[in-house]
Amino acid sequence: MSINPDVNKVKEWILTEIDKQQLKPGESLPSLLSMARACDVKTDDVQGAIHELVTEQIVSENFEEGVRVKQSQPFFYPLDELMSVGQMITDKGYREGTVFLSLDEEVASCDDCRVMNLPEGAIITVIERIRTADDQPVVYCLDKVSENVLQYFCTHNQQTSILKAIEKETQQTITYAETEIETVSYEPYISEALDADPHEGLMLLRQVHYTTEGRPVLYSLNYFKGSLVKFRTVRKRL
């Protein structure tokens, strides 16, 4: 927090207006001059307050739209448990859906073989989907399965969790996953599939899922829309 009392005064004024819903998510902040008059401070102090609130992600700022109250993402995806994307969506009261882009068997690439410990030339099931909430795209999913689950998705409810499909077909339990997270600014194919704005960031979860015996069976690349999903975990001090 700033040591300048006038900057803090403006911050508290903006936060109070948001709390009273006088400023709603997505709405533009008043002009610098009007906020300076309302708080009886200099416009430089207003700019300082805005800078701090941008840093704290209470408001967002870009050249085209100016300063707006940040819209909160409706979905939380926990990183400390194996939750399906579908459950993440339904837990918030939305109707989940799936748009299949492709569903086929392919020869595993050398990278797939390395990640899933497969022999050269192994055949894997590759599933490309868009997961939706109330028909709006939320996550682009590219799943690579070391087992043949193609028939399962062709004959069963295609809204089912891929984890459950693998466990049903293999009679093995998936118990943990190794996860890497990285930000992706813009990828034309994926961003367009998610109907994402060119300025909207994506979060990539690269996950390898293992059975109880430690065998990797699912390699997933899930791209989450940054405007809709944020991540949550519990970290303990050792």
Reported as a single tens digit per residue, the pLDDT across 166-186 is 888 788 888 999 999 999 988
Rounded CA-CA distance 81/98 in Å is: 22
CATH code for the structural domain at 75-232: 3.40.1410.10
The full set of domain ranges for the chain reads 5-69, 75-232
Residue among 142, 131, 135, 68 at smallest CA distance from 103: 142
Which two tokens mark 5? Answer: 């009392």
Lowest mean pLDDT among 152-156, 222-226, 227-231: 152-156
pLDDT digits (tens, 9 = 90+) for 10-69: 999 999 999 999 999 989 999 999 999 999 999 999 999 999 999 999 998 877 778 999
Burial readout 197-219 (b: 16 or more C-beta within 10 A, e: otherwise): eeeeebbbbebbbbbeeeebbbb
Instruction: Please check whether residue 44 is in contact with residue 86, taking contact to mean a CB–CB distance below 8 angstroms.
Output: no
- The CATH topology of domain 5-69 is Arc Repressor Mutant, subunit A (1.10.10)
Rounded CA-CA distance 215/173 in Å is: 10
Instruction: Please check whether residue 73 is in contact with residue 201, taking contact to mean a CB–CB distance below 8 angstroms.
Output: no
- What pTM, to 2 d.p., does this model score? 0.85
pLDDT digits (tens, 9 = 90+) for 124-140: 999 999 999 999 999 99
